[in-house]
Structure 1
């Protein structure tokens, strides 16, 4: 009986395992290499007085020592931790303490890093963490703009391995960010667009409708009512799949949702995809989309449009 329980537990763990990694071809992207070099220079200049030299973002940061020193220099926080952590358990303990303090200051809504991923020398997680640290502690510093990577998302279960490839944003497109951020520096440009007069808001809405239809035509689908047709999450999932070039398995969502719970599941899944892509949707709740809230729906579609659309055309129409 104990053996059966053990096997059942192993199967449950197998079904839950998810793997996320940068595609090997993306590792040779000059933009990614430039970002890594910039972050290395930043770390070394920050820790120069302490005579610490980092040569690899993953090989030199996984044990918590460098991150601990960065925390001290940038936030003046000095934790009572041993300088050197040699065993895995000691390194994990140190990372838990250091990342705990960093997360308090970075306040990530959906952290793209963890103690486990950093300790396992995951480059993607480490890059997300360092970019977030630069943005918070030294916002005046310019990082390479518009750095994206192709990421393999794999799920390992009892039935085998399912995988898809998606684009993940490491740094935003600086030009688009400067052009579309409002005078008040609003984090979400749609907040500013929605403050325009009714005629211009209608222009924005029509542009997003045209954008959605242009990308759904290949599926033989057409959108005429943004709020209503995106409220159950189906159209949104299909649109994301079309734009990002991956297929969402039909068993992951309900193609014809019949109740509120199924709609919430679909929309929540879509929002999780957008978060993985690095798009600004942290303030949007699934229930708002399901409730056909115009502002929330437009913000979600604008997040996709800002990455895949031709923003200059919308801006010229509004000016």
Structure 2
């Protein structure tokens, strides 16, 4: 993981709250990203179209949505229930209380667990653009599934994590939207076809990948038996990437004995970032699915490594 050395990036870091959990920040040049700007404009236009009869006009996602007023109106307009909250809230405490009610209702409507959420009251109220965009996309995809959101929007972000000795910083890829369904269908890989057309061969593929993985990990005295569970915390995946790609991943950049879900997500996110940067993984993968032991997603990641380095099996 890249360490930040730019003074501008460091200044951004010192201006945020770093206690308790990892934080993601936009890079200074994020405003120059055309796909991000397209997504922001699309979401603003969508909200304004939904709320035009109420004469509400949004100009900035960060500045106009943080206090809960517009989120309240938007949720009710697109299909949420009527909420018993104050219309106008001036104090910080009341704004956060209102946001809490709104976001609790969003979680209920979307049927999402807390570990799946990429937003919370503190992030939205602090005008965190990343969290605000994730929240709006989730609402749009649930209540307006036919809305043509801009596809394949992802940006590089700064990740700041509090440690016992201070702060650890690095960079990661933040994915907002994947390919459109028609594009994704055109990009289906051999694994998709296998699950659909030849499910009886999945066991053979799993065994081939297990053999491949164990051959790469023999020098570390590690053995993989269960693909479904042993990759869920990201540790073996990171060690495998280092072995196969031929570089050392500093132990200080990940949790060697992750306990909390957040630690596991950190590890898996780091592994996926390395695979994306190395051109091994073409399409973004949801790290939550790996942590939740989704076999198809785990196989897809391992299969991408297997395909690139399968010749190593023949030559070694």
TM range (shorter): 0.5 to 0.7
- The match for 1:179 among 174, 177, 186 is 186
List alignment gaps of at least 5 residues for structure 2: 1-16, 273-283, 308-316
**1:145-224 matches, cutoff 5 A:** 145-174=151-180, 176-179=183-186, 193-197=194-198, 201=202
How high is the TM-score relative to the length of structure 2?
A: 0.68
From the superposition, tell whether residues 190 and 53 of structure 1 become closer, same or farther in structure 2 (CA, over 3 Å): farther
- The match for 2:95 among 80, 91, 102 is 91
Q: Tell me how far apart the structure 1 counterparts of residues 80 and 252 of structure 2 sit (CA, whole Å).
A: 50
Tell me the CA shift for residue 20 of structure 1: 1.6
| CA offsets 1:57-87 (integer angstroms, 9 cap, x no match) | 0100001010000011012522222221111
Aligned to 1:231: 230
Secondary structure of 1:59's counterpart equals helix
Tell me the CA shift for residue 302 of structure 1: 1.2
From the superposition, tell whether residues 281 and 82 of structure 1 become closer, same or farther in structure 2 (CA, over 3 Å): same
Preserved CA contact (<8 Å) 2:228 2:295? no
Aligned to 2:150: 144
Preserved CA contact (<8 Å) 1:152 1:163? yes
Aligned to 2:6: none
Tell me the CA shift for residue 43 of structure 1: 0.2
Q: Tell me how far apart the structure 2 counterparts of residues 157 and 246 of structure 1 sit (CA, whole Å).
A: 21
The answer as to 2:297 corresponding to 1:299 is yes
Q: Tell me how far apart the structure 1 counterparts of residues 235 and 107 of structure 2 sit (CA, whole Å).
A: 34
Aligned to 1:132: 138
- The match for 2:109 among 98, 105, 108 is 105
Tell me the CA shift for residue 134 of structure 1: 0.6
Aligned CA RMSD, in angstroms, stands at: 4.4
Preserved CA contact (<8 Å) 1:14 1:157? no
**1:34-73 matches, cutoff 5 A:** 34-73=38-77
Secondary structure of 2:298's counterpart equals helix
Q: Tell me how far apart the structure 1 counterparts of residues 176 and 290 of structure 2 sit (CA, whole Å).
A: 21
Q: Tell me how far apart the structure 1 counterparts of residues 27 and 301 of structure 2 sit (CA, whole Å).
A: 24
Preserved CA contact (<8 Å) 1:17 1:157? no
